[in-house]
Amino acid sequence: MGSLFRSEEMCLAQMFLQSGSAYDCISELGEMGLVEFRDLNPSVNLFQRKFVTEIKRCEEMERILGKDKTGWLVPNLKAGVKVHVISYGTGLPMCHPVSLPSPCRFISGLIQRVKIEAFERMLWRVCKGYTILSYSEIDEYLEDPDTGEPTKSVVFLISYWGEQIGQKVKKICDCYHCHVYPYPNSNEERNDVVEGLRTRIQDLHTVLHRTEDYLRQVLNKASESVYTWVIQVKKMKSIYYMLNLCSFDVTNKCLIAEVWCPVNDLPTLRRALEEGSVMPSFVNRIPSNDTPPTLIRTNKFTSGFQSIVEAYGVGNYREVNPAPYTVITFPFLFAVMFGDLGHGMIMALFALWMVLYEDNRKLKRTRNEIWNTFFEGRYIILMMGLFSVYTGLIYNDCFSKSLNIFGSGWNVNAMFKSGNWTWDSTLRTNAFLTLDPIVPGVFNGPYPLGIDPIWNLASNRLTFLNSYKMKMSVIVGIIHMSFGVILGVFNHLHFRKKFNLYLVFLPELLFLLCLFGYLVFMIIYKWLAFSARDSQMAPSILIHFINMFLMQGDGVPPLFPGQVGLQVFLVVIALLSVPVLLLGKPVYLYLLHNGGANLMGMYREDPILSVPMSFFNFFFFFFLQFDFGDVFLHQSIHTIEYCLGCISNTASYLRLWALSLAHAQLSEVLWSMVMRVGLRMDTSLGIMFLVPVFGIFAVLTVSILLVMEGLSAFLHALRLHWVEFQNKFYSGTGIKFVPFAFSLLPSSFEHDGLL
């Protein structure tokens, strides 16, 4: 958890791997997931690298394995088993040798349908009538043994006389690519051959059927290992891809690789190389001026909040990480806008169910992207639900109704006992009654937790809640932004830029607190200084805040003694902090640059002080590249953005008040227009009517108040963290550390559709 507050310290390491053991070493590194490889061959095309042939073989195997996840083996091998049999009696006219001159001989065979006419003409012209051709077309399509394509074929029988005619007929058959089969001369021999062929066909069908069953069993058993084979092939492909990033030495016997590795994992890296192969491999830490990647270790609880931060941008190397603070502030700001005890309980129970069944593979690996989004953020939803329960108790709001747990601090009987109200005239003539806190016994003190439940019955409830939530939003916003400015101190100290403490941090904090911090002070002071009995005498904070900028105070009663002088002093301090923020850093760097150059010239002239020259060269390297115009322009943009942002960002936090009000009003409207209708029915069918009404109420509550309103509050809380909070100290322009790890391969399987 130490690296969660700041990214881990990284180093650039150089590995020397023997060619014979390089594959095993990188395979071990892939199992460990410790390092990120750098490309040492940026000028070489991908198809010209050393192991491109092995990668192509792996891709071909991936294509074969990924063709059909479950039944790819049986159809492919089954298609290779074919039986081609020609029967003598299939529509072929039988010859009667008794009617032909002796000696008569026969040739039978198979020819394509498109060639039969040319074949017949050629026989007639060459043999000059000494042949008799009989043929019959086969109904089904037969596969051509040469091309493998289905063709329409014809069975033919040629009767001829003489050896010379027979030689010519055989040559013509060869010319037309006929498949010739033996044809006995006598009927008895032909019948014997037909019977023998039928027996062979039956035996072949039996053998093929049994072979097919055996192959199906073997291949179904082998298909269970397809997933393992896919993993192995992907591992091999990734290993060869990493080998392509390495370079060979002059002798081509050693591979050189450069990797980014966490400093704390260097001993583990050395042990991994030792375990990967018996041949020695070496690891050396080398200096580098390149910016290292950012590595922040997370667990299943913090990974969701870290993803929220990195959606804005990956943090710079060793920069303060907002994620540990977002764990608390994000669900809290969400709950401020979503605060409802009932809705928070439903959300928390739903998230708790996902957390308890987080190891269920059916829930983890689904094709529904919306569900995957909810499941990955289950801990975020759980925290948002729990904080919504807390803010619901503060607002005393549960499905738009208040809970009277501790008893109200307001007493109606005191108004009757004091004589201000009478049972007859007051109750019958007034639709609304006003409780006067000045009357003794009417107001007995604040409610122990949250808002008093009597406000749920008050006609001015909305006015009271608007004032309360608006001031609360301003207080929360100023505290949140001030905390972001304070976090910038840790960046200045870590990067050894202490001048930023006086020239950037201090002016920013003074500008924010002198103006808007004073506004928070006035809100809290007014709450503490004025009670319910003298609340009508309390002055307006808005008028005092406007007069603060106008430096006027006449005609308005002060909030406390010496208020006008304090306001003038705070405005002057805030105005003076602006030029310091604008000019302080550029002028300081300009003076430091000129002073550093003169100091280096003094050391060059003195040979005795030649030893510290390397130190000053390193220390003033940045300042020798100093450009006052760029620094001043950057600081001007930052000053304008910060000063205007303090105003706009403070107003932006009023969305906490607006969305909280909208959620409460939608909940109240849904209760009054749906649930109240079913509860008011006093007939015997009221219970039966209440069941569908409750169903409608539940569906609308989940779809509108939980899903739509929850998504709206989530997006607004996300904006408050990205724009109002993180831009005070977080740049988010870093490079994410992507280690070479086999554990990241299942995500690619899901993308390819292999899982």
Closest by CA to 474, choosing from 507, 514, 520, 433, is 520
pLDDT of 433: 80
Q: Is the dihedral of CA 24, 25, 28, 33 positive or negative?
A: negative
Greater confidence (367 vs 584) lies with: 584
Q: Which residues on adjacent β-strands are paired with residue 255? A: 17, 248
Per mean pLDDT, which range of 163-172, 500-509, 696-705 is the poorest? 163-172
- Phi and psi for 87 in degrees, rounded to 5? -100, 145
DSSP 3-state assignment of 287?
Answer: coil
- Looking at the structure, do residues 329 and 238 belong to the same domain, yes or no? no
Domain count for the chain: 4
Q: Is the pLDDT of residue 85 over 50?
A: no
Kind and range of the H or E run holding 136: strand 131-137
Closest by CA to 512, choosing from 478, 471, 549, is 478
Q: Are 97 and 185 in contact (CB under 8 A)?
A: yes
Q: Is the pLDDT of residue 366 over 70?
A: yes
Closest by CA to 418, choosing from 401, 442, 452, is 442
Span 55-69, pLDDT tens digits: 999 999 888 877 655
- Out of 130, 149, 182, a domain closes at 182
pLDDT of 747: 52
Q: How confident is the model at residue 38 (pLDDT cuts 50, 70, 90)?
A: very high
517 inside domain: yes
pLDDT of 2: 52
Which whole number is the average pLDDT over 478-501? Answer: 94
525 inside domain: yes
Q: Between 655-670 and 461-494, two packed helices, what is the crossing angle to 10 degrees? A: 140
DSSP 3-state assignment of 681?
Answer: coil
Residues contacting residue 314 through CB under 8 Å, at least 6 positions apart: 294, 732, 733, 734, 735, 736
Q: Is the pLDDT of residue 272 over 70?
A: yes
Which whole number is the average pLDDT over 612-616? Answer: 40
- Looking at the structure, do residues 392 and 264 belong to the same domain, yes or no? no
Amino acid, single-letter form, for residue 656: L
Per mean pLDDT, which range of 178-192, 341-355, 497-511 is the poorest? 178-192
Rounded CA-CA distance 200/206 in Å is 10
Which whole number is the average pLDDT over 81-106? Answer: 49
- Other beta carbons less than 10 A from residue 347's beta carbon: 25
Secondary structure in 3-state letters for 217-261: HHHHHHHCCHHHHHHHHHHHHHHHHHHHHCEECCCCCEEEEEEEE
Q: Is the pLDDT of residue 728 over 80?
A: yes
- Looking at the structure, do residues 638 and 664 belong to the same domain, yes or no? no
pTM as predicted: 0.78
- Looking at the structure, do residues 7 and 140 belong to the same domain, yes or no? no
- Other beta carbons less than 10 A from residue 100's beta carbon: 14
Q: Are 644 and 515 in contact (CB under 8 A)?
A: no
Rounded CA-CA distance 211/219 in Å is 12
CA geometry: angle 387, 521, 525, nearest 5 deg: 95
276 inside domain: yes
- Looking at the structure, do residues 526 and 583 belong to the same domain, yes or no? yes
CA geometry: angle 530, 534, 538, nearest 5 deg: 60
- Phi and psi for 420 in degrees, rounded to 5? -70, -30
Rounded CA-CA distance 49/41 in Å is 9
Q: Is the pLDDT of residue 516 over 70?
A: yes
Q: How confident is the model at residue 50 (pLDDT cuts 50, 70, 90)?
A: confident
Q: Are 356 and 304 in contact (CB under 8 A)?
A: no
- Looking at the structure, do residues 686 and 643 belong to the same domain, yes or no? no
Q: Is the dihedral of CA 491, 492, 495, 500 positive or negative?
A: positive
pLDDT of 716: 96
619 inside domain: no
Rounded CA-CA distance 333/326 in Å is 10
| Portion of the chain with pLDDT greater than 70, in percent | 88
Closest by CA to 391, choosing from 358, 439, 342, is 342
- Looking at the structure, do residues 102 and 64 belong to the same domain, yes or no? no
- Other beta carbons less than 10 A from residue 743's beta carbon: 11
Compute the residue count for the chain.
Answer: 755
Rounded CA-CA distance 384/617 in Å is 52
Six token digits for residue 742 = 């086999």
Rounded CA-CA distance 399/671 in Å is 7
Q: Which residues on adjacent β-strands are paired with residue 156? A: 109, 135
Closest by CA to 454, choosing from 443, 439, 470, is 443
Q: Are 62 and 234 in contact (CB under 8 A)?
A: yes
Rounded CA-CA distance 465/461 in Å is 6
Per mean pLDDT, which range of 98-107, 175-184, 661-670 is the poorest? 98-107
- Out of 117, 151, 182, a domain closes at 182
Domain that holds residue 364: 303-405+658-728
- Looking at the structure, do residues 279 and 324 belong to the same domain, yes or no? no
- Looking at the structure, do residues 632 and 535 belong to the same domain, yes or no? yes
- Looking at the structure, do residues 643 and 522 belong to the same domain, yes or no? yes
| pLDDT, mean over the chain | 84
Greater confidence (226 vs 308) lies with: 308
Rounded CA-CA distance 166/597 in Å is 109
Span 420-441, pLDDT tens digits: 777 777 777 777 788 877 788 8
Q: Give CA separation, 665 vs 315, 390, 397, 686, in Å.
A: 39, 19, 11, 27
- Phi and psi for 134 in degrees, rounded to 5? -125, 135
Which whole number is the average pLDDT over 701-715? Answer: 94
Q: Which residues on adjacent β-strands are paired with residue 18? A: 254
66 inside domain: yes
328 inside domain: yes
Q: Are 101 and 116 in contact (CB under 8 A)?
A: no
35 inside domain: yes
pLDDT of 642: 94
Q: Are 646 and 515 in contact (CB under 8 A)?
A: yes
- Looking at the structure, do residues 502 and 641 belong to the same domain, yes or no? yes
Q: Are 271 and 31 in contact (CB under 8 A)?
A: no
- Looking at the structure, do residues 281 and 339 belong to the same domain, yes or no? no
Greater confidence (158 vs 606) lies with: 158
pLDDT of 620: 44
Residue with tokens 């008011």: 680
134 inside domain: yes
Per mean pLDDT, which range of 305-319, 599-613, 636-650, 712-726 is the poorest? 599-613
Q: Is the pLDDT of residue 612 over 70?
A: no
Rounded CA-CA distance 439/410 in Å is 11
Rounded CA-CA distance 726/488 in Å is 10
The backbone region for 475, taken as left when phi is positive above 0, alpha when psi lies in -120 to 50, beta otherwise, is alpha
Q: Are 464 and 458 in contact (CB under 8 A)?
A: yes
Kind and range of the H or E run holding 649: helix 628-652
Kindly report the CATH number assigned to the domain that includes residue 159.
3.30.70.2520
CA geometry: angle 614, 615, 616, nearest 5 deg: 95
Rounded CA-CA distance 331/304 in Å is 12
What is the greatest pairwise CA distance in the chain?
146
